[in-house]
Structure 1
Amino acid sequence: MHAYTAQLLWQRAEGEAFTDNRYHRAHRLRFDGGVELPASSSPLVVPRYSDPAAVDPEEMFVASLSSCHMLWFLSLAAADGWCVDRYEDAAEGVMARNAQGRMAMTEVTLRPHVVFAGRQPGAEQLHDLHHRAHAACFIANSVHTDVRCEPRA
């Protein structure tokens, strides 16, 4: 078992009434390694009170799935003897009503593009690596969202 922590700090700005629901949503996230991240609600959800320059929870959700998949992919590729030079992903999440009628991230599509050095895996081997990475990903195993992987050439 492993425990992970994140600290969050939000503070009402001086003069903000708060109870009228007109307060800023910007906050800070601090992680155990010392990285601090500006965060906010999504400007698509709360347009007037969000910080569009900050990262929102929906973006972090998509990024978390993308990152976890990549880390497993790299580990599995190395174990199988494939040398990866570069990995990039153009991941996208869709917010929609779920089967219960609630707004949720209903779909995340990963679009990884992997560049290998030397020996190149075939399409079947590449598909297998992505399939195994998805099956091993702790984050994908933790959510009910339909997480798709569509590798790009």
Structure 2
Amino acid sequence: MTGEHTYRVAATWTGDRGTGTSGYRDYDRSVTVEVAGKPALPVSADRPFRGDGAKWNPEDLLVAALAECHLLSYLYACVQAGVVVTAYEDQAVGTVVVEGNGGAFREVVLHPRVVVADASMVDAAVAAHADAHEWCFIANSVNFPVRIDPVVLVA
């Protein structure tokens, strides 16, 4: 699976209320994000930034990407380690610090809760998080800490 992979995403602003960006309060922050062959995803800015809080926003999507990337990398790491995972859920939390007109993520903390098939697998299941973190493309691409705070239970 080595090599270069390209991902194409179309983002179309759908928030013109008839006067374009004539003023800060005069336009909607609605956007449609599309990938060929997949359902369109209506997104917006987060509510504090005059967006629609009912829609996904860029910050949600980045935290989701980190959580999913770790999950998928973790499942692979567990296969490699002989760990049988029967359930996995995460309650990921990202923190953004806003200063003036800009801001940045301070950190994202993943809280994976994993269930394994047998008690003999717990130590390897905990250790597999380090490999998963090392292998996650998204975590390797961001300039802020991504911490993992796992819990491993036995089925």
Tell me the TM-score normalized by structure 2: 0.85
CA–CA separation in structure 2 for the residues paired with 1:58 and 1:107: 12
- Structure 1 pair 120/60, CA: closer, same or farther in 2 (3 Å)? farther
CA–CA separation in structure 2 for the residues paired with 1:114 and 1:62: 19
Q: Which moved more, 1:110-119 or 1:86-95?
A: 110-119
> CA offsets per residue over residues 75-124 of structure 1, 9 Å max, x none?
110122211111100000000159xxx5101100000001112454234x
CA–CA separation in structure 2 for the residues paired with 1:11 and 1:150: 38
Q: Partner residue of 1:95? A: 96
Letter in 1 for 2:108: V
Secondary structure at 2:94's aligned position in 1?
strand
Q: Partner residue of 1:111? A: 111
**Matched residue count:** 147
CA–CA separation in structure 1 for the residues paired with 2:31 and 2:122: 45
Q: Partner residue of 1:44? A: 48
Q: Which moved more, 1:68-77 or 1:27-36?
A: 27-36
Secondary structure at 1:103's aligned position in 2?
strand
* Cα RMSD (Å): 2.0
Tell me the TM-score normalized by structure 1: 0.87
- Structure 1 pair 120/29, CA: closer, same or farther in 2 (3 Å)? farther
Secondary structure at 1:21's aligned position in 2?
coil
Q: Partner residue of 1:30? A: 34
Secondary structure at 2:86's aligned position in 1?
strand
CA–CA separation in structure 2 for the residues paired with 1:97 and 1:10: 23
Q: Partner residue of 1:19? A: 22
**Are the aligned partners of 2:32 and 2:41 in contact in 1 as well (CA < 8 Å)?**
yes
**Are the aligned partners of 1:109 and 1:147 in contact in 2 as well (CA < 8 Å)?**
yes
- Structure 1 pair 43/18, CA: closer, same or farther in 2 (3 Å)? same
Letter in 1 for 2:106: T
**Are the aligned partners of 2:32 and 2:42 in contact in 1 as well (CA < 8 Å)?**
yes
CA–CA separation in structure 2 for the residues paired with 1:35 and 1:118: 38
Structure 1 unmatched runs, 5+: none
